[in-house]
Amino acid sequence: MKLRAAIIGCGGISRCHMAGYKALSDRVDVVACCDIDLPKAKRYAEEFGIPADAVYEDYNEMMAKETLDLVSVTTWNAAHCGATIAALKGGANVICEKPMAMNAIEAQAMLDTAKETGKVLQVGFVRRFGGDADTVLAFSKAGALGDIYYAKATYLRRSGFPGGWFGDLAYSGGGPLIDLGVHVMDLVRYLSGLPKPIQAFGVTYKNLGNNRASGGEQAWAASTAASKYKYDVEDFTSAMIRFDSGLTMLMEASFNLNIAHDTGNIELMGTKGGLSFSPKFEIYTDMAGRFINIAPQGNTGFDFTRAFNDEIRGFVDAAEGKAPCRAPAEDGVILMKMIDAIYESARTGKAVDII
């Protein structure tokens, strides 16, 4: 029998989840959807063949009326916690988009509910499913990097505020740190053996605001961009995080910054070798007394469509007990603790211990 899936939050990124489910049409049917914007949910249902009587504006009502195995929570960040807990309690396995929640307290409540209900709770750390991540893990497993002790992670946009609720603290919980930094900070942890963060020092700036040349017009713009939202988040964050393994990570993320061009890169430096994702995937080491730069062949990049399809397939496999969850809620809680600590450090000017 096929699994029954539903979407909560019929916006931009939900379409990537939908594509992932459609690619598994022999195993999954998407049978219901929900959005507080009911006309939007109705249009969505029509486009994707969801029956008209299975369209909801209240996720509690949907969970009460439908029998569901899988739920994608793809709302804005402020609704992640409530929607996830309702879906878990309603008997579904859940994949919740990143950031897992507004803060670590909410994330912990979500994890606790997953444990109580015995359901899978996966966090939308889609970068874990890229060809670049797979390549790093393969080389790391083969010992090519040794112990990774320093990492640089950047997700910098010169002018890339996604618009709408993304700039409104009450809906987003923060700016580029919680929106973009979360991706690369998780990726560094994932690629370096999931060390435990112990301390963070961070700075945030609100110098450029959202008043930039191309805000809200890019491919990553929210489907809800509207003038009713405030812009009261930071536009740039830089942070240094120490881990129990001895790893230190330097992270930078911006919506707006006076730089030449957008950059997104992961650099890992280990005792035997280092690597960089950009401008091309390369591993740096030495052999026979010479420095060598190794360029692995095959899929070493990040393909958005492929990664989302793999992420959803991984979620469905985990829900069916066929494979362990590759982005478990425990890691989402740890990421939220890192984010909370960076914001607190930026507020207080002091390094903050992460417990």
Ligand X SMILES: NC(=O)c1ccc[n+]([C@@H]2O[C@H](COP(=O)([O-])OP(=O)(O)OC[C@H]3O[C@@H](n4cnc5c(N)ncnc54)[C@H](O)[C@@H]3O)[C@@H](O)[C@H]2O)c1
CB of 253 closer than 8 Å to CB of 155: yes
Q: Would you count residue 132 as binding ligand X (CB under 6 A)?
A: no
d(CA 118, CA 232): 38
Question: 98 or 337: whose CB is closer to ligand X?
Answer: 98
Out of 19, 36, 137, 294, the only residue in the binding site for ligand X (CB under 6 A) is 36
Q: Which residues contact 354 (CB under 8 A, 6 or more apart)?
A: 197, 198, 199, 200, 241, 337, 338, 341
In the range 268-287, which residues lie near ligand X by CB under 6 A? none
Neighbouring C-beta atoms of residue 272, cutoff 10 Å? 13
Q: Would you count residue 13 as binding ligand X (CB under 6 A)?
A: yes
Q: Would you count residue 110 as binding ligand X (CB under 6 A)?
A: no
Q: Would you count residue 224 as binding ligand X (CB under 6 A)?
A: yes
In this structure, which amino acid lies at residue 40?
Answer: K
Out of 222, 241, 335, 339, the only residue in the binding site for ligand X (CB under 6 A) is 222
Q: Would you count residue 29 as binding ligand X (CB under 6 A)?
A: no
Could you tell me if residue 353 is left (phi over 0), alpha (psi between -120 and 50 degrees) or otherwise beta? beta
Q: At residue 329, what are phi and psi to the nearest 5 degrees?
A: -60, -30
Question: 61 or 353: whose CB is closer to ligand X?
Answer: 61
CB of 271 closer than 8 Å to CB of 149: yes
d(CA 83, CA 53): 20
Question: 11 or 216: whose CB is closer to ligand X?
Answer: 11
Compute the least distance from the CB of residue 263 to ligand X, in Å: 17
Q: Would you count residue 139 as binding ligand X (CB under 6 A)?
A: no
Rg (CA), the chain: 20
Out of 18, 50, 59, 342, the only residue in the binding site for ligand X (CB under 6 A) is 59
CB of 333 closer than 8 Å to CB of 44: no
In the range 78-107, which residues lie near ligand X by CB under 6 A? 79, 83, 97-98
Q: Would you count residue 267 as binding ligand X (CB under 6 A)?
A: no
User: Mask of contacts with ligand X, 142-181, x by CB under 6 A?
Assistant: ----------------------xx-------------x--
Binding site for ligand X (CB under 6 A): 8-14, 34-37, 40, 59, 74-77, 79, 83, 97-98, 124, 126, 164-165, 179, 222-224
